[in-house]
Amino acid sequence: MDNIDLINKAIEASKNAYTPYSHFNVGAAILTKSGKVFTGCNVECSSYGISLCAERTALVKAVSEGCKDFEKIAVVGGTNDEFVYTTPCGACRQFLADFNQNMDVIMGFLDKGELQHKDMMLKELLPETFEL
Ligand code: THU
């Protein structure tokens, strides 16, 4: 699956974001090495700190379905479908890195209405990753 297809899946997932507090909708789509895609959105809570990010939602869905070999993840975020350049938060970086530090992170955004993306490897986003 190419990066634009994966970004479009993340965009679809972002439509389910539950964001009554921030109104910042995030969607993620994670691709396994066997070609399966799991999507996620952020789900906020009145006790703000326990809100869930889109990336971890997608990852936890995959792991709970028995998949944990990840190749890449696409992330989009914005308000009212105005997707701005959004990078995974620190907690999500560590969570993803526990599975594959070489995972590609595809960050999609709109530039004057056109879909663009910046791609980085997770270990670039989280150097000196904590490992047990
Ligand atoms: N958010 C994500 O879903 N992923 C990130 O990596 C960054 C932040 C969510 C959390 C919260 O619901 C909203 O974006 C604003 O912080």
Distance in angstroms (rounded) separating the CA atoms of residues 23 and 2: 29
Q: Whose CA is nearest to atom 14 of ligand 1?
A: 24
Torsion-angle region of residue 58: left (phi > 0), alpha (psi -120 to 50) or beta?
A: alpha
Domain assignment present for 11: yes
Alpha-carbon gap, residue 103 to 96, rounded angstroms: 8
Percent of the chain with pLDDT over 90: 100
- pLDDT tens-digit readout, 69-122: 999 999 999 999 999 999 999 999 999 999 999 999 999 999 999 999 999 999
Which structural domain range is residue 118 located in? 3-125
Q: Is residue 131 part of a domain?
A: no
Average pLDDT for residues 57-65, to the nearest whole number?
98
Nearest atom within ligand 1 for CA of residue 41: 3
- For 5-41, the pLDDT digits (tens) are 999 999 999 999 999 999 999 999 999 999 999 999 9
- The CATH number covering residue 97 comes to 3.40.140.10
Pocket test for ligand 1, best of 14, 26, 107 (most atoms within 8 A of CB): 26
Q: What is the pTM of this model?
A: 0.98
Using the mean position of ligand 1's atoms as its centre, give its distance from the Cα of residue 115 in Å: 20
Q: Is residue 9 domain-resident?
A: yes
Number of domains composing the chain: 1
The answer to whether position 31 is within a domain reads yes
Ligand 1: does its nearest atom lie under 6 Å from the Cβ of 42?
yes
pLDDT for res 96: 98
Q: Specify if 42 maps to a domain.
A: yes
